[in-house]
Amino acid sequence: MATVPVAAVEPLARPAPDVATGGPGRGRFRNSIAVGLFMGPAAIVLGAIVVYPTVDTIIRSFFDKSGNTFVGTNNYRTLFGTTEMLIAIRNNAIWVIVFPFLVTFAGLVFAVLTERIRWATAFKTVVFMPMAISLFATGVIWRIVYETDPHRGVINSAVGTIVDAVHPPGLYALPNIKPISGLAAQPDGSMLSNNTVQPGGTLKLGLTGILPENIPPGAQDAHAPSGASGGVSGAVWRNFSPGGQIGVIGNGEKGLPGMHLTLLRDGNGSVASTTSVADGSFRFNDVSSGSYRVSVDSSNFRTPFGGTNWLGIQSLTPTSGLGSTARSLLTIPLVDISEIIAMLWIWSGFAMVVIGAGLAALNREVLEAAKVDGANEWQTFRKITLPLLRPVLIVVFITMIINVLKIFDIILGLVPDSSQHEANVIALQMWHLYSRFDYGLSSAVAVVLFVLVVPVIFFNIRRIRG
């Protein structure tokens, strides 16, 4: 039998001990020391400004307002039994439901537009610029924008321009104007002659409560009207002068030009209309026989648009037949919508930039392939672009949820004191309680806010890692 040679197998060499470090264990120890030296100061600072205040606030929430007596969960029971806190939770719920959707949608629209318009850089700059302004300063700016006086508030000025164009204000929209001679005020705001008149007859209609500076330019002295066959004539004038008599046109008393008047037949409604001239006289011609009255139209006294109180507490939902607590909770104040618009002004730029970056990173070959397959713009956007942008949209959406859960300073700067009760949110409620030196309840509100925010942050971190 042949002999098979067997090769010698050399044993594996073991690594020589690390003479310089004293072995692998000592090397890991030295690495840990290096990491500790770098991370230690940051960890100490983080613990001092984040961990310690958090723990201390949680502990303080179980004590009374002075912080000396342990009260257990009494603060939390008190908190959720107050209308103020329930209103704050309601308003935060409105913010969470409405605002993230709106700002994500606005950012998506702006991001898509900037890819299709010229001067995209200038457009992005204008939209993003409000991000440079603090939230409190934004509240102050928008408080002026929402000013009720149309001469000061931008929004009410724009609305007033349209309203006054459709329903022009009257020349005599004066607070103290009233009939004094030959007229009686009517429920609809007009004034109706006391006496009836036949064709050929005259009427004298005197008004008071008109200051000399309120008389239109070009007004002339009034004169006693003269009758005309087949017509009804008269004069409407300012029946006020030193030593004058009611119902008598005195020397120097001015006529009221531009008055819109309507001739009414008793029981048959309007017959004709006319406008008074410079001396306040008027005439209806070709009037058939019968008894008539003259109406000074309500349009003469229509007040100009006085502005809408955008920061008021007008209800946007019907609450009749409800109790006081239910009415408070189910009322959606107009001020909440006004706040959301102001907040959109700031954060739309952020959403636009983030979503725009997502659009720029999309694979253009996929979009071109969809077009080659016959998809139109809307189908490409809905079936291709939106699904690819989903991670970016989620980032914007969750970031906005975190922001609105702890919203505070814009409401403090925007909402007047008279409306802050209805516009209250959780963070603002915490500040109000702290300003009243109720540290126990204030800490309990802070813990509630912390509990609401942490799950959202945890979800965001898991989504980023996953």
The CA radius of gyration of the chain, in Å to the nearest whole number, is 38
Which CATH code is given to the segment(s) 178-301? 2.60.40
| Percent of the chain whose pLDDT exceeds 70 | 89
Q: Which CATH number fits domain 74-158+316-465: 1.10.150.120, 1.10.3720.10, 3.40.50.300, 1.10.10.10?
A: 1.10.3720.10
- Is pLDDT above 80 for 322? no
Instruction: Count the Cβ atoms, other than its own, within 10 Å of residue 461.
Output: 10
- Is pLDDT above 70 for 24? no
- Is pLDDT above 60 for 175? yes
pLDDT band at residue 157 using 50, 70 and 90 as cut-offs: very high
Q: What is the mean pLDDT of residues 179-204?
A: 92
Burial label, 160 (beta-carbon count in 10 A; 0-12, 13-18, 19+): buried
The per-residue pLDDT for range 26-44, each reduced to its tens digit, is 667 788 888 888 888 888 9
Which H or E run includes 178?
Answer: strand 178-181
Q: What is the pLDDT of residue 333?
A: 76
Helix (H, G, I), strand (E, B) or coil at 207: strand
DSSP 197: B
The per-residue pLDDT for range 382-408, each reduced to its tens digit, is 888 898 999 899 999 999 999 999 898
Where do the structural domains in the chain lie, given as residue ranges?
18-60, 74-158+316-465, 178-301
Instruction: Give the integer Cα–Cα distance in Å for 321 and 378.
Output: 47
The per-residue pLDDT for range 56-113, each reduced to its tens digit, is 999 999 998 888 899 999 999 998 888 888 889 989 999 999 999 999 999 999 998 8
- Is pLDDT above 70 for 12? no
Q: What is the mean pLDDT of residues 142-153?
A: 92
One-letter identity of residue 212: P
Q: Which residue's structure tokens are 């008894």? A: 291
Residue 332 or residue 83, greater confidence: 83
Structure tokens at 317: 């939902």
The per-residue pLDDT for range 276-320, each reduced to its tens digit, is 999 999 999 989 988 999 999 999 999 988 888 888 866 655 555
- 3-state DSSP helix/strand/coil % of the chain, to nearest 5: 50, 10, 40
Which H or E run includes 160?
Answer: helix 154-166
Q: What is the pLDDT of residue 1?
A: 45
Instruction: Give the integer Cα–Cα distance in Å for 99 and 97.
Output: 6
The per-residue pLDDT for range 357-384, each reduced to its tens digit, is 999 888 888 888 888 888 888 888 888 8
Q: What is the pLDDT of residue 116?
A: 82
Which H or E run includes 394?
Answer: helix 386-405
User: How many Cα atoms are found within 13 Å in the side-chain-facing hemisphere of 303?
Assistant: 9
Mean per-residue pLDDT of the chain:
86
What sign has the CA pseudo-torsion 56, 60, 62, 68? positive
Q: What is the pLDDT of residue 326?
A: 57
**Measured torsion, CA atoms of residues 341, 343, 349, 352, in degrees rounded to the nearest 10:** -70
Instruction: Give the integer Cα–Cα distance in Å for 337 and 319.
Output: 18
